[in-house]
Amino acid sequence: MKKLASLGFVLAFWGAWQVAFAQQGLIDGQVTKVDPSASKITIKHGPIPRLDMDIGMTMVFAVSDPKMLTTVKAGDRIKFDADRVNGQLTVTKLQKAR
């Protein structure tokens, strides 16, 4: 019984860790420009090693869903995730940082 309880604890801990890790995976950035007509957003961001960006920069991203662009404006601090979609760097997740 004791063994079962500790297994439950380990599983709960693992789950919480996964959630924390997923949130940490988001990239910090600041919106410098939103262009709904082109479905593009310009973001100033820090290094993103997994996208081969070893230094911070300001750059234009496409968005996976144009609705994202209605939730932020220039100057907003954000957390986002990006990936290469059809060879184009695309924001796949976007939320305001608090």
Contacts of 30 (CB under 8 A, 6+ apart): 43, 44, 45, 75, 76, 77, 78
Q: What's the min distance (Å) between Cβ of 10 and Cu ion?
A: 38
Q: What's the min distance (Å) between Cβ of 55 and Cu ion?
A: 8
Q: Which is nearer to Cu ion, 10 or 35 (CB)?
A: 35
Reported as type and span, the H/E element at residue 72 is none
Binding footprint of Cu ion on the chain (CB under 5 A): 53, 57, 59
Q: Which is nearer to Cu ion, 19 or 57 (CB)?
A: 57
Q: Which is nearer to Cu ion, 19 or 77 (CB)?
A: 77
Q: Which is nearer to Cu ion, 6 or 58 (CB)?
A: 58
Q: What's the min distance (Å) between Cβ of 56 and Cu ion?
A: 8
> How wide is the angle at C-alpha 39 spanned by C-alphas 25 and 82, nearest 5°?
15
Q: What's the min distance (Å) between Cβ of 44 and Cu ion?
A: 9
